[in-house]
Amino acid sequence: MSGSTVLKFGGTSVGSAAAIRRALAIIGGTTGPRCIVVSATAGTTDRLAEAAAAAERGDGATARAHVGELQARHARLAEELEVQRVVPELDGLAEATATVLDAIALLHECTPRSRDAVWAFGERASSRIVAAALEDAGVRSTAVDATDLLITDDVFGNASPLMEPTRTAAGSRIHPLLEDGVTPVVTGFIGATAEGIVTTLGRGGSDYSAAILAAALDASELLIYTDVSGVMSADPRIVADAKPLPSLSYAEAAELSYFGAKVIHPRTVRPAIEAGIPVRILNTFAPSDPGTTVTAVAERDGTVVKATTSLGGLALVTVAGAGMSGVPGFAARVFDTTAAEQVSVLMISQSSSENSICFAVPADTGERLRTALERMLARELARHDVERVTVEAPIAIVAAVGEGMRGTPGVAARVFGALGAARVNVVAIAQGSSELNISLCVGEGDREAAVRAIHEEFHR
């Protein structure tokens, strides 16, 4: 419904009775039709992941114990908010989850599809609690499972929405509620295939759910409430004096989230961009802070590097050898291999002499890729056209992001000057052709020093 607002509350924002009361106050303070999207309470999805892993090892007892603990924690939360009436429903959800875990334990096999069925417990539980508490706070409300309205493909664990069926289903499920003055509290993170099998949108996916719903409902605004006052110039856990950014373009937001700024989910921005819906990132615990507005087009605000971000837990794979120079199709063969191994490549850099190609991948895939590449390049290795395939781990990508870098000379020199002064060794470099970011690889041990050095250089 146009004129409606979608408000999303993250894991910390629904993680305790005190936090939920703050969220209720924020919701109560808005006017007009609104649709709420909630994450699982903080730590719940991690715990469900542990339960699924235990079940896969065949340890059904540990898996059940994890669910029992989560069930107790949610019952306590319901009690603190005086909405004990939802506890029987929570017990039912927990028992259904435990049954799936029993099946996994019996088979010693956890398919992505079964895992999604387990992971869905978190958002199902939190939505019941928040809806009941909202109702008691005087706002007519009901919990809604996104499996009824967010229709996705069947890529379990990382599903994508099918926008047309979602638009139809969301419209018929949510619009009548809004028209009746009822505020739906929708589960983030989960959806369902057209056949009704539960899927998840990837870790941190509740932001994505909220953006998809905002687009499907033609909402006027998407407000993402989290535990910091917007997207900051660096991860506040690394840089103590990082500042919230008043505005950010969609492109900048996408780069930042891609390179590790966990505050927004990488895919979140897309449905909102396409629908032209303004997105604001706000703090549940300081709701009058201005937060960050994500805009379609960058506002010229005089900044060069707007934010510095980092992503750890990676390996740098290098394929090097003089015999690769000028051989057409060589890079294609290398990346065919990464694709065949289903490894996503986060950054690529090729030296101008074409003597080496190096690229960053998740650390736990490094050795597997080395084996696959050595197999694929057996002939070239034997002839010494390729000298070696090496894997360096753990490494991190550090990225400096900002639209103001475009066409501003000397940015790279300042970045590398700052890193040199901080005695950080840079192991690989890539600059996006959009000139929106400079990203580089450093040893994991240098990650925080690198972020601080670049931040200090541009935000003094």
Which DSSP symbol is given to 418?
A: H
Out of 191, 204, 260, 321, the residue judged to bind Mg ion by CB under 5 A: 204
CB atoms within 10 A of CB 441: 28
Q: In the complex, what is the shortest distance from the CB of residue 218 to ligand ASP, in angstroms, rounded to a whole number?
A: 23
Q: Does 266 bind Mg ion (CB under 5 A)?
A: no
Q: Does 257 bind ligand ADP (CB under 6 A)?
A: no
Q: Which residue's CB is nearer to ligand ADP, number 5 or number 292?
A: 292
Q: Which helix (H) or strand (E) holds 35?
A: strand 34-38
- 40 to 69: interface string for ligand ASP, x by CB under 6 A: x----x------------------------
| Pure H helices in 41-110 | 44-56, 60-80, 87-107
235 binds, among ligand ASP, Mg ion, ligand ADP, none (CB under 5 to 8 A by kind): ligand ADP
Q: From 39-47, 105-113, 151-159, 385-393, give the range in contact with ligand ASP by CB under 6 A.
A: 39-47
To the nearest 10°, report the CA torsion of 127, 220, 285, 251.
Answer: 110
Q: Does 39 bind ligand ASP (CB under 6 A)?
A: yes
* Residues 442 and 415 sit within 8 Å (Cβ to Cβ): no
Q: Does 9 bind ligand ASP (CB under 6 A)?
A: no
Nearest to 208 by CA among 8, 19, 1: 8
Cis amide prior to 271 (ω within 30 degrees): no
188 binds, among Mg ion, ligand ASP, ligand ADP, none (CB under 5 to 8 A by kind): ligand ASP
Q: Which residue's CB is nearer to ligand ASP, number 15 or number 402?
A: 15
Which DSSP symbol is given to 232?
A: B
Question: Which residues partner with 282 through β-bridges?
Answer: 225
13 binds, among ligand ADP, Mg ion, ligand ASP, none (CB under 5 to 8 A by kind): ligand ADP
Question: Which residues partner with 160 through β-bridges?
Answer: none
Site for ligand ASP in 96-125 (CB under 6 A): 122
CA–CA dist 90, 132 (Å, integer): 12
Cα 70 from chain centroid (whole Å) = 23
Q: From 9-17, 66-74, 99-107, 325-333, give the range in contact with ligand ADP by CB under 6 A.
A: 9-17
Burial string for 236-262 (b: 16+ CB within 10 Å, else e) reads: bebbeebebbebbbbbbbbbbbbbbbe
Q: Does 204 bind ligand ADP (CB under 6 A)?
A: yes
Amino acid at 441: C
CA–CA dist 171, 216 (Å, integer): 7
Out of 228, 248, 360, 405, the residue judged to bind ligand ADP by CB under 6 A: 228
Q: From 38-46, 211-219, 376-384, 390-398, give the range in contact with ligand ASP by CB under 6 A.
A: 38-46
Q: Does 459 bind ligand ADP (CB under 6 A)?
A: no
The DSSP string of 242-284 is: --B-SEEEHHHHHHHHHTT-TTS-TTTHHHHHHHT--EEEEET
Burial string for 8-34 (b: 16+ CB within 10 Å, else e) reads: bbbbbbbbebebbebbbebbeeeeebb
Site for ligand ASP in 153-192 (CB under 6 A): 188-189
Out of 33, 60, 161, 205, the residue judged to bind ligand ASP by CB under 6 A: 205
Q: From 3-11, 235-243, 312-320, 365-373, give the range in contact with Mg ion by CB under 5 A.
A: 3-11
237 binds, among Mg ion, ligand ASP, ligand ADP, none (CB under 5 to 8 A by kind): ligand ADP
205 binds, among ligand ADP, ligand ASP, Mg ion, none (CB under 5 to 8 A by kind): ligand ASP
Note the residues at the interface with Mg ion (CB under 5 A): 10, 204
What is the binding site for ligand ADP (CB under 6 A)?
A: 10-13, 39, 204, 226-228, 231-232, 234-237, 261-263, 307, 309
Which stretches of the chain bind ligand ASP, using CB under 6 A?
Answer: 10-11, 39-40, 45, 122, 188-189, 203-206
